[in-house]
Chain A
């Protein structure tokens, strides 16, 4: 029983990171109809920012998260405005290839700047945790989960309670109608992508505290973001939160199956995704559109 509880707790904690990675990816996918293969690269840019600020300025890593968000927002806005907006009316294959090209550029630029060494962010409290009987919950993981939930809540707030958010929702519903009522599409698209990138940056900051990062460490997160968003259902932040936590649980239980270890992590994740896609394409919480 204690094992079971521990697995659930570990799964939910791991799910926090997936929530953070998934919300930005889901926003860009749901509103702009772009499957952003550069998402993992943006995540790792955030990770390196946190690492750089932590090692040179000795800032507490959690305090670097707003910096990640702002920097990545600006970068994402420029990227969408300058490059991705150019192919919005092209077939979907093109957005795949374009974002894959951007991913190649960003990852290899990081390799040129930082090299391929492992970098980790280890604040003084990194080894400590909350003890509940036989179960130890690392502080970093616990705060990360809190940050991920807070991030999702603020994103939901922006999307549902601000003028910009309403404009984004209008685009998601009908691009041409949104343009007719006076929404500046180029700007709104760039803001949406910027918000997605900002979420990726925060996720990267969290990931840098949890694992050692390299420039290529983001690629698995792009794939996992897919699974998380599909699992929860496209189009709502809350659905992605559920998808991320569910994915964390599935992963934790999958790894606990004796003999398989963690080697089948991707296979389990993708089998689950294909299963969800085929049986319930709108996701666990999604609505049919």
Chain B
């Protein structure tokens, strides 16, 4: 282990202060009214797109942090968590669009249904290990999306079918702000829950399962109950994000409520930030989502990628994302959070060590 020197400690403090400044800016910036920002000559703040992107980032913080509970802390590589997002979105969406429930009453139902579903499928699925669990959970994610789009009753699609589900617009002043704060609140809850889990008896049980499930069982951990509870907790948080998303986005269908690529994105975020930690997945979510938005050309501050036409840009962005994925997995397998805690420094030696540890 590297001994923490004075300079490391100083860097740590600088990063902490920087982090607080960035977080405060992100939280407080939307408070300034759009007109004020415009007249003060800070158009960056006035851009409505910022709210959308900031809300999106908060949404991914929830999903990555929730995935971390089952994938990072418990060590079960769930590849179908997007099912919970979609179930949450459709639960709230159906209650609002069909049953005319008010949004704030319909929202808490989303995590409840997602939890119930996770418990139901978790009981058989969590008996599987390793690849088998990953593949089976992926299958559930795909199948649920397909069912939701195609289930019919007397020839009528129950959940809006292929044309999707339209929700009435939630009437409130400063709608963009409202959903931004709601999503940030959800992100805060997810992080707080993770913090609590890591300090509780429950969390120690989950870590024991990750390190050696048989040994955990011998020590008296009720592994089935613990695993299902972790899965359900992740589902509840993800479902909550889905519920907020449905009213925020006003329109949901199979493509935006069950996107297969979210499965991989939330895992990559957790991995990039550092699995099993409290803040790692959140940090990874912010970094990766900003990068995706930047590459996709939808950030207010954007730049041209040299030699790439606008038409080819989304495709090139995907290639870059793929290369990033490969590089992160090979060279930074423990995530970037290590560099911020003063535990280790980014150096050629670190990259070489990462490579050697996992190479054949």
- What residues make up the interface of A, taking CB atoms closer than 8 Å to B? 29, 33, 35, 83, 85-90, 92-94, 96-98, 100-105, 107-109, 111-112, 185-186, 189, 223, 226-227, 230, 259, 263-264, 266-267, 269-271, 273-274, 277-278, 281
Contact = CB atoms under 8 A, between A and B. Distances in A.
A95 B330 CA distance: 10
25 contacts: A35-B134, A87-B329, A88-B360, A89-B359, A89-B360, A93-B271, A94-B333, A97-B267, A97-B325, A98-B325, A100-B325, A101-B329, A104-B322, A105-B326, A108-B322, A189-B360, A226-B138, A259-B152, A263-B149, A266-B146, A270-B140, A273-B139, A277-B132, A277-B136, A278-B124
Contacts of B112: none
Interface residues of B, number: 47
Interface string B317-360: 01101111110111001000000000000000000000101111
Given A86-B359, A264-B147, 9 more contacts: A93-B71, A94-B329, A97-B268, A104-B318, A108-B315, A223-B142, A226-B135, A274-B139, A281-B132
Interface string B119-133: 000001101101110
Contacts of A273: 135-136, 139
B143 interface: yes
Contacts of A104: 318-319, 321-322, 325
Given A86-B359, A89-B358, A102 B326 contact: yes
Contacts of A270: 139-140, 142-143
Interface centre among B139, B150, B264, B267 (most CB of A within 10 A): B139
Given A97-B264, A104-B319, A274-B136, A92 B329 contact: no
Contacts of B322: 101-105, 108
Given A86-B359, A98-B326, A185-B360, A109 B267 contact: no
Given A89-B360, A94-B333, A274-B125, A101 B135 contact: no
A33 B125 CA distance: 20
Contacts of A96: 77, 79, 134, 267
Contacts of A102: 322, 326
A91 to B, nearest CB: 8
A227 B132 CA distance: 11
Nearest to A188: B360
Greatest chain B CB density within 10 A among A93, A112, A269 is at A93
A223 B146 CA distance: 14
A271 to B, nearest CB: 6
Interface in B272-315: 312, 315
Contacts of A230: 132, 135
B197 interface: no
Contacts of A86: 330, 355, 358-360
A141 B315 CA distance: 34
Contacts of B333: 87, 90, 94
A121 B9 CA distance: 64
A98 B328 CA distance: 9
B316 interface: yes
Nearest to B78: A93
Given A263-B146, A273-B136, A94 B358 contact: yes
Contacts of A109: 319
A69 B307 CA distance: 34
Given A264-B147, A266-B143, A277 B329 contact: no
Q: Report which residue of B140, B147, B330 has the largest number of chain A beta carbons within 10 angstroms of its beta carbon.
A: B330
B263 to A, nearest CB: 9
Contacts of B315: 108, 111-112
Contacts of A264: 146-147, 150
Given A94-B333, A100-B264, A35 B135 contact: yes
A281 B128 contact: yes
B130 A92 contact: yes
A289 to B, nearest CB: 12
Given A266-B143, A270-B139, A273-B136, A97 B329 contact: yes
Contact of B325 (A101, A185, A223, A274): A101
A74 to B, nearest CB: 20
Contacts of B143: 266-267, 270-271
A35 B135 CA distance: 9
User: Which of A96, A107, A112 gathers most chain B CB within 10 Å?
Assistant: A96
Contacts of B318: 104, 107-108
B56 to A, nearest CB: 20
A85 B125 CA distance: 30
B357 A89 contact: yes
A87 B330 contact: yes
B330 A93 contact: no
A34 to B, nearest CB: 9
A23 B355 CA distance: 30
Contacts of B71: 93
A270 B271 CA distance: 27
